[in-house]
């Protein structure tokens, strides 16, 4: 028995170094580089040309209006669903909730495509039922209102989740006490539930706003054809017409996006801070109020909404994918799987995209797992302040819109790597790096919460049994966090596979991803091929989500994002 | 095996007040020490330092001649050959009972028939042979605690640490488990350190009791010794029942006082200094003579009535009575014995 100089907590010394080196590489380095270029560009006056450009301010205005209106739509949709599904005796709540969550996990460009296929003069679905408006009528969705509506649909689940979490955390005995004090169900609702749920509303709204600001897929598909640019699509356009001032310009533009997002995130954090009633009283299943005669109309309303925002657009998507050519009427006779054969078997671009997306997503999910298992362990065993710092550094690249991170990666890797002399710019490695950075938080959250729920004495008992760090990791810690780790892998895979925003700026010939392929097919007019690819992507999303549903009962609370 | 020595042990978490402050004590080979004190007194920190989960900021822990830990270096817990029963049992939920118990053997590289035999033996010692293939989740609280104990038994550790092992169990199970612990100690002859805030538990189990308060060791002695001759007001108040009276004091008087000496204290000469005298309830006898008292409370405890008496000068005494008395009744008491703290 020899006294050694290991730390009393039994972690090897390299763990600390590893965690902070990973955070520096994936979070501090790219964002620091972006901040530096933006600051230098402003200081040199390079921003002058940009800042006096009316197109910039038009884009800022478009971003603000679409994001705000989209937030309003999200609050109404998400808030309504959350209140009705959480507090009232609606039948089939689990299924309705799951369906309502779908738009959040479906890539935005697919949402946009499906709605485009639903409305307008060349809608295959409308033609099939003979309701299509005459040719020459403008597509109504190619407008500020159309962008806002779809942003609202896409991000309504964020409001739903935030509000539902708040409602479920309501102390049930508090409501029972109010009933005993003589309050009617309506008074309990008005005096107890709604005031306590208000922070959830506000937080959800702020999250939806931030998500709207950074959204690329929807304004790209709906806005660019009508020359309506938001900040993310303006960056994309500037990047496409590459010039000497491009780097400076896009770093300033993404700075704008970052500022808007940070403002939204600060609002969210502010309102959630006031929500300390969580700890008072037993919070369990929220009391369910009976709707009585209103039940059927309410259920009908929810189903109708789901039909309009989910089922019809995807029926349209399916119809477009089966149509022989864009604009040709679809009947049982003309329906064809030609588009599917084309994207799956013949087109080398889509096949490469499939391969790239799957390999990249798997590599990201598994690579992050190695980092986040150690990081999650470190976070759970650290003091509160260190844990908060690690969580914040990991969160920033994910919380900021993907376009900001993509710009940061471009700036970081435009020049060849020091020491190695090779450039990863234009290769698949820059995408891999950006994915690792962007989805670090997605992987870390479930694993860190699983570690935090582990009783530390489980590890201490293993230490006294004689197990060293690696042995404990293998025998005790990893098996115990395995369900959460599995969920982390699926989540990262799911999100990375559908990624468009980061890839849109970073792809080049041969490294396109699924998201990029869908966008490019649509851009080049192959609407039916884009639809077929989208249908496949939606199917993939649904399968992954169902897989997580199956895992869900073995997972710590809050791991599966659409469950609360 | 050898003596476990804590030498001027201190731990400061940087909160302004040290959690453990200059604690020195020695536990003989095969001893059973109870660390007793109110919550937050530092007893768990002492235990965690002995286990190796915390490093002392000053002082040292020695097992015989070997230094286990001091402020500059420490042997990690995995190389101390100790075992611990945790308040939360700390059973690994993904392993069966047998796997839990056998894990320390597995880590030590003991395999095959030898491991199976040792696991069976350890489970038999806590009467859980038939539960070997169950999961911890399928067991009751008492059974889980016995699995944790079997896990300690299996490797013949030098020191066994018990951190409030009965705190999560109901009263009936506690008595049963106390018996199991006593058996366990007799069988293993391991040095055992038992942390508790329950003085009855400490007295019933341990061969020695160490009382801690605010990070300091107040007194360490055998249970009967610490009960009969507690040092200081804090220990006197913590161990057993009794009333502490502040009485005028005359030198030279012995610390153990009989009735005539006590009686004299109630008729003091002016100017005498005050001393704390502990009077146990069983030494307060209701009698025809003695001090005048009024009953201020009477609680039926099953075997007897516990009385609270108010003396004429406002001091409070505790006493036992076989028969019930009414609150407000006047009676006289004789104090058979008292102990100056």
Report domain extents, chain A: 53-243+272-328, 347-402+428-564
Distance CA A231, CA A229 (A): 7
Q: Please say whether the beta carbons of A251 and A403 come within 8 A.
A: no
Q: How far is A460 from chain B (nearest CA, A)?
A: 8
Q: Give me the sheet containing B191-196, strands edge to edge.
A: B82-85, B159-163, B191-196, B32-36, B208-213, B216-221
The CATH number that domain B4-232 falls under is 3.40.50.300
Q: Residue B255: its pLDDT value, please? A: 83
Q: Please say whether the beta carbons of A110 and A517 come within 8 A.
A: no
pLDDT band of residue A280 (cuts 50, 70, 90) is very low
Average pLDDT over residues A253-274: 80
Average pLDDT over residues A390-408: 86
**Interface probe with A: pick from B4, B79, B148, most Cβ of A within 10 Å:** B79
Average pLDDT over residues A43-59: 76
**Interface probe with A: pick from B53, B67, B104, B158, most Cβ of A within 10 Å:** B53
DSSP letters of A452-492? Answer: HHS-HHHHHHHHHTT--HHHHIIIIIHHHHHHHHHHHHHHH
Would you call A463 and B76 a contact, using CB atoms and an 8 Å cutoff?
yes
Which residue of chain B comes nearest to A11, CA vs CA? B76
Q: How far is B77 from chain A (nearest CA, A)?
A: 5
Helix (H) or strand (E) holding B168, with range, is none
Would you call B92 and A462 a contact, using CB atoms and an 8 Å cutoff?
yes
Fold classification of A347-402+428-564 (topology level): MetI-like fold (1.10.3720)
**Between B299 and A498, whose confidence is greater?**
B299
Would you call B90 and A466 a contact, using CB atoms and an 8 Å cutoff?
no
Q: How far is A3 from chain B (nearest CA, A)?
A: 4
Would you call A479 and B94 a contact, using CB atoms and an 8 Å cutoff?
yes
Q: Please say whether the beta carbons of A108 and A217 come within 8 A.
A: yes
Which of A3, A9, A467 faces B107 most closely, judged by CB atoms? A467
pLDDT band of residue B113 (cuts 50, 70, 90) is very high
- CA–CA–CA angle A52, A58, A59 (5° rounding): 105
Q: Please say whether the beta carbons of B212 and B23 come within 8 A.
A: yes
Distance CA B40, CA B43 (A): 8
Q: Which residues of A touch B (CB under 8 A)?
A: 1-6, 8-10, 455, 457-458, 460-468, 471, 475-476, 479-480
**Between A451 and B188, whose confidence is greater?**
A451
Size of interface A-B (CB pairs under 8 A): 94
Q: Residue A1: its pLDDT value, please? A: 41
Would you call B84 and A460 a contact, using CB atoms and an 8 Å cutoff?
yes
Mean pLDDT of chain A: 83
Question: Nearest CA to A55 among A231, A245, A213?
Answer: A231
Question: Nearest CA to A100 among A148, A45, A33, A156?
Answer: A156
Helix (H) or strand (E) holding A175, with range, is helix A172-180
pLDDT band of residue A5 (cuts 50, 70, 90) is very low
Would you call A464 and B93 a contact, using CB atoms and an 8 Å cutoff?
no
- Residue A551 tokens read as 């895992």
Q: How far is B185 from chain A (nearest CA, A)?
A: 19
**Between B269 and B84, whose confidence is greater?**
B84
Residue B32, strand partner residues? B192
Enter the ipTM.
0.82
**Between A118 and B70, whose confidence is greater?**
B70
**Tokens 């986040």 identify what position?**
A372
Distance CA A452, CA A359 (A): 31
pLDDT over threshold 70, residue B330 = yes
Would you call A10 and B76 a contact, using CB atoms and an 8 Å cutoff?
yes
> Taking the CB of residue A475, how many other CB atoms lie within 10 A of it?
20
Which of B54, B82, B88 faces A455 most closely, judged by CB atoms? B88
Would you call A461 and B76 a contact, using CB atoms and an 8 Å cutoff?
no
Would you call A10 and B67 a contact, using CB atoms and an 8 Å cutoff?
no
> Percentage of residues in chain B with pLDDT exceeding 70?
99
Question: Nearest CA to A3 among B153, B63, B209, B157?
Answer: B63
Would you call B53 and A6 a contact, using CB atoms and an 8 Å cutoff?
no
**Interface probe with A: pick from B1, B92, B150, B151, most Cβ of A within 10 Å:** B92
Q: B153 to chain A: which residues are within 8 Å by CB?
A: none
Q: Residue A293: its pLDDT value, please? A: 81
Q: B55 to chain A: which residues are within 8 Å by CB?
A: 8
Would you call B78 and A479 a contact, using CB atoms and an 8 Å cutoff?
no
Query: What is the phi/psi pair of residue B10, to 5°?
Result: -135, 150
Q: Which residues of B touch A (CB under 8 A)?
A: 51-55, 66-70, 72-84, 86-88, 90-94, 103-104, 107-108, 148, 151, 155
- Quick check: helix, strand or coil at residue B288? coil
Are the folds of A53-243+272-328 and A347-402+428-564 the same?
A: yes
Which of B66, B73, B108 faces A5 most closely, judged by CB atoms? B73
E strand segments, B269-336: 274-279, 284-287, 291-300, 305-311, 316-321, 330-335
Q: How far is A418 from chain B (nearest CA, A)?
A: 41
Q: A464 to chain B: which residues are within 8 Å by CB?
A: 51, 77-78, 80, 82-84, 104
Which residue of chain A comes nearest to B63, CA vs CA? A1
Which of A4, A460, A479 faces B90 most closely, judged by CB atoms? A460
Average pLDDT over residues B302-327: 87
pLDDT over threshold 90, residue B24 = yes
- Quick check: helix, strand or coil at residue B309? strand
Q: How far is A312 from chain B (nearest CA, A)?
A: 46
Q: Please say whether the beta carbons of A517 and A499 come within 8 A.
A: no
Q: How far is A83 from chain B (nearest CA, A)?
A: 36
Q: A381 to chain B: which residues are within 8 Å by CB?
A: none
Q: Residue A72: its pLDDT value, please? A: 94
Q: A457 to chain B: which residues are within 8 Å by CB?
A: 86-88, 90
Q: Please say whether the beta carbons of A70 and A208 come within 8 A.
A: yes
Domain boundaries, chain B: 4-232, 241-340
pLDDT over threshold 80, residue B237 = yes
pLDDT band of residue A557 (cuts 50, 70, 90) is low
- CA–CA–CA angle A387, A391, A397 (5° rounding): 160
pLDDT band of residue A278 (cuts 50, 70, 90) is very low
Average pLDDT over residues A118-147: 78
Q: B54 to chain A: which residues are within 8 Å by CB?
A: 8
Fold classification of B241-340 (topology level): OB fold (Dihydrolipoamide Acetyltransferase, E2P) (2.40.50)
Lowest-confidence region among A119-123, A546-550, A558-562, B291-295 = A558-562
Q: Residue A2: its pLDDT value, please? A: 44
Fold classification of A53-243+272-328 (topology level): MetI-like fold (1.10.3720)
Q: How far is B52 from chain A (nearest CA, A)?
A: 7
Q: Please say whether the beta carbons of B76 and A4 come within 8 A.
A: yes
Q: Residue B217: its pLDDT value, please? A: 92
Q: Please say whether the beta carbons of A107 and A217 come within 8 A.
A: yes
Q: A467 to chain B: which residues are within 8 Å by CB?
A: 78, 103, 107
Q: How far is A468 from chain B (nearest CA, A)?
A: 6
């Amino acid at each position: 028995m020899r006294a050694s100089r290991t730390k009393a907590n039994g972690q090897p010394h390299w763990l600390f170094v590893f965690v902070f080196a990973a955070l520096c590489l994936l979070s501090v380095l790219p964002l620091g580089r972006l901040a530096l270029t933006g600051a230098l560009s402003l200081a040199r006056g390079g921003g002058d040309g940009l800042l006096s450009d009316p197109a910039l301010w038009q884009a800022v205005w478009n971003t603000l209006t679409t994001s705000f209106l989209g937030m309003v739509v999200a609050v109404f949709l998400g808030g309504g669903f959350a209140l009705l599904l959480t507090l009232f005796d609606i039948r089939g709540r689990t299924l309705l909730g799951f369906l309502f969550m779908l738009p959040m996990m479906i890539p935005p460009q697919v949402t946009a495509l499906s709605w485009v296929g639903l409305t307008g003069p060349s809608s295959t679905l409308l033609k099939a039922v003979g309701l299509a408006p005459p040719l020459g009528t403008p597509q109504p969705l190619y407008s500020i209102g159309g962008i806002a509506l779809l942003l609202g649909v896409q991000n309504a689940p964020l409001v739903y989740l935030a509000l539902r979490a708040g409602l479920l955390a309501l102390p049930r005995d508090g409501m029972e006490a109010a009933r005993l004090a003589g309050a009617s169900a309506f008074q309990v609702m008005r005096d107890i539930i709604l005031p306590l749920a208000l922070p959830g509303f506000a937080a959800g709204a702020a999250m939806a706003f931030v998500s709207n600001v950074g959204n690329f897929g929807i304004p790209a598909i709906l806005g660019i054809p009508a020359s309506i640019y938001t900040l993310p699509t303006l960056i994309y356009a500037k990047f496409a017409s590459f010039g000497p001032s491009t780097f400076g310009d896009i770093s300033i533009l993404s700075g704008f996006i970052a500022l808007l997002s940070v403002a939204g995130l600060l609002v969210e954090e502010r309102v959630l801070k006031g929500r300390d009633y969580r700890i008072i009283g037993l919070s369990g299943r929220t009391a369910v109020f009976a709707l009585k005669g209103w039940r059927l109309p309410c259920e009908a309303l929810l189903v109708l909404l789901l039909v309009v925002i989910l089922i019809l657009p995807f029926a349209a998507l399916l119809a477009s994918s089966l149509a022989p050519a864009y604009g040709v009427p679809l009947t049982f006779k003309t329906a064809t799987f030609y588009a599917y054969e084309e994207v799956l078997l013949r087109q080398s671009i889509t096949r490469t995209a499939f391969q790239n997306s799957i390999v990249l997503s798997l590599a990201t999910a598994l690579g992050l797992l190695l980092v986040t298992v150690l990081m999650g362990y470190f976070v759970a065993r650290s003091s509160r302040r260190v844990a908060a710092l690690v969580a914040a550094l990991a969160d920033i690249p994910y919380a900021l819109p993907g376009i900001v991170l993509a710009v940061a990666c471009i700036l970081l890797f435009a020049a060849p790597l020091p020491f190695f002399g090779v450039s990863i710019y234009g290769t698949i490695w820059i995408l891999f790096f950006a994915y690792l950075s962007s989805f670090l938080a997605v992987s870390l959250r479930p694993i860190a919460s699983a570690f935090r729920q582990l009783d530390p004495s489980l590890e201490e008992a293993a230490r006294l049994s004689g197990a060293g760090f690696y042995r404990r990791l293998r025998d005790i810690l990893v098996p115990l966090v395995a369900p959460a780790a599995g969920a982390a892998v699926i989540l990262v895979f799911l999100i990375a596979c559908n990624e468009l925003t980061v890839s849109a700026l970073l792809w080049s010939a041969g490294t396109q991803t699924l998201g990029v392929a869908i966008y490019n097919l649509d851009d080049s007019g192959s609407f039916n091929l884009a639809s077929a690819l989208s249908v496949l992507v939606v199917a993939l999303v649904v399968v992954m989500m169902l897989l997580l549903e199956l895992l869900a009962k073995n997972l710590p609370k809050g791991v599966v994002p659409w469950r609360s | 095996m050898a003596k476990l020595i804590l030498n001027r042990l201190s731990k400061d978490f940087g909160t302004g007040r040290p959690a453990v402050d200059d604690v020195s004590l020695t536990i003989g080979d095969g001893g059973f020490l109870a660390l007793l004190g109110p919550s937050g007194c530092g007893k768990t920190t002492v235990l965690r330092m002995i286990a190796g989960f915390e490093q002392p900021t000053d002082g040292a822990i020695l097992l015989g001649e070997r230094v286990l830990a001091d402020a500059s270096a420490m042997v990690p817990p995995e190389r101390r050959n100790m075992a611990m029963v945790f308040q939360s049992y700390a059973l690994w939920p993904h392993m069966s009972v047998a796997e839990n118990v056998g894990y320390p053997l597995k880590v030590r590289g003991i395999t095959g028939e030898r491991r199976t035999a040792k696991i069976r033996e350890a489970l038999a010692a806590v009467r859980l042979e038939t539960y070997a293939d169950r999961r911890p989740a399928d067991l009751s609280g008492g059974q889980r605690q016995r699995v944790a104990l079997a896990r300690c038994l299996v490797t013949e550790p030098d020191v066994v640490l018990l951190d409030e092992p009965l705190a999560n169990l109901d009263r009936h199970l506690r008595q049963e488990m106390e018996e199991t612990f006593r058996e366990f100690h007799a069988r293993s002859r391991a040095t055992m350190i038992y942390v508790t805030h329950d003085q009855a538990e400490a007295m019933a189990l341990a061969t020695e009791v160490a009382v801690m308060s605010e990070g300091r060791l107040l007194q360490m002695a055998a249970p009967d010794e610490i009960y009969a001759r507690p040092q200081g007001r804090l220990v006197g108040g913590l161990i057993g029942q009794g009333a502490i009276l502040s009485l005028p004091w005359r030198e030279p008087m012995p610390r153990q006082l009989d009735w005539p000496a006590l009686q004299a204290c109630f008729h003091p000469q002016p100017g005498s200094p005050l001393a704390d005298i502990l009077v146990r309830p069983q030494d307060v006898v209701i009698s025809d003579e003695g001090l005048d008292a009024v009953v201020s409370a009477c609680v039926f405890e099953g075997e007897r009535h516990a009385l609270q008496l108010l003396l004429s000068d406002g001091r409070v005494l505790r006493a036992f009575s076989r028969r019930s008395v009414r609150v407000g009744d006047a009676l006289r008491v004789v104090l058979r014995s008292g102990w100056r703290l």
